[in-house]
């Protein structure tokens, strides 16, 4: 980019949410083509070989300030000459907050881009309703460390009845170092653990439980 072809975005104050908090996110600048669909490509003026430029630019905003290292193409350096910018402001969650102040012609460096009113998200007033069947993507995180203990019962390759000291909020059975899937390697009813066929421990096998809560 030659210096005369580009401009840095600036604003004379801190870009803020409507509540006064500095805004962080980005502004997306889309090039509006003249004649709507009359043109499909944009090129740098007086550039050989012919150089096409991208039609959208994303400029980060951090704590209310445009990224000073980022530049946009000046519209007077482009072909066709009547290209203009439309601007859209997004927060850090990629949510569109507001469209900018109409079509913009950029012919100076730096270029002052005044943001629109960036309205703070409205606080929730009601709890959401959970699904009848919880989403399988939901992961339950247990903040406390589990208790690890030996499962009580006779290990002789025949007995399949074992017990743990408490049912807890979650019990995980470990057989010879392998974590078993519940209802596949074993079933649980309170403190009673019933080992499935193929997973019944022999003498010398290890059978442990991780218990949360």
Separation of alpha carbons 8 and 206, rounded Å = 67
Q: Residues 6 or more apart from 199 whose CB is under 8 A from it?
A: 175, 180, 185, 186
Separation of alpha carbons 202 and 154, rounded Å = 9
**pLDDT value of residue 1:** 46
pTM of the predicted structure, to 2 decimals = 0.59
Adjacent-strand bridge partners of 212: 170
Can you list the residues of the chain whose pLDDT is less than 50?
A: 1
Give the E-state strand segments of the chain in sequence order: 6-7, 9-10, 25-32, 43-44, 56-62, 65-66, 72-73, 78-79, 84-91, 96-99, 111-112, 147-150, 161-163, 170-175, 178-179, 186-189, 192-195, 207-212
**pLDDT value of residue 157:** 93
Structural domains for the chain? 3-112 (2.60.40), 147-212 (no CATH)
The predicted-structure confidence for 46-88, as pLDDT tens digits, reads as follows: 887 888 888 899 999 999 999 999 999 999 999 988 899 999 9
């Amino acid at each position: 980019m030659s210096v005369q072809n580009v401009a840095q975005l600036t604003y004379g104050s801190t870009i803020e949410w409507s509540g006064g908090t500095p805004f962080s996110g980005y502004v997306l600048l889309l090039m509006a083509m003249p004649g709507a669909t009359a043109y499909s490509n944009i090129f740098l003026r007086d550039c050989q070989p012919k150089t096409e430029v991208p039609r959208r630019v994303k400029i980060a905003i951090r704590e209310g300030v445009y990224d000073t290292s980022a530049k946009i193409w000046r519209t007077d350096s482009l072909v066709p000459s009547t290209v203009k910018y439309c601007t859209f402001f997004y927060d850090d969650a990629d949510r569109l907050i507001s469209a900018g102040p109409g079509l913009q012609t950029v012919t100076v460096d730096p270029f002052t881009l005044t943001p629109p009113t960036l309205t703070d998200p409205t606080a929730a007033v009601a709890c959401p309703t959970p699904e009848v069947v919880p989403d399988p993507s939901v992961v339950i995180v247990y903040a406390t460390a589990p208790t690890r203990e030996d499962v009580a019962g006779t290990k002789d390759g025949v007995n399949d009845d074992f017990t743990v000291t408490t049912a807890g909020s979650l019990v995980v059975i470990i057989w010879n170092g392998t974590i078993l899937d519940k209802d596949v390697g074993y079933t649980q009813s309170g403190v009673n653990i019933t080992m499935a066929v193929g997973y019944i421990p022999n003498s010398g096998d290890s059978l442990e439980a991780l218990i949360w809560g």
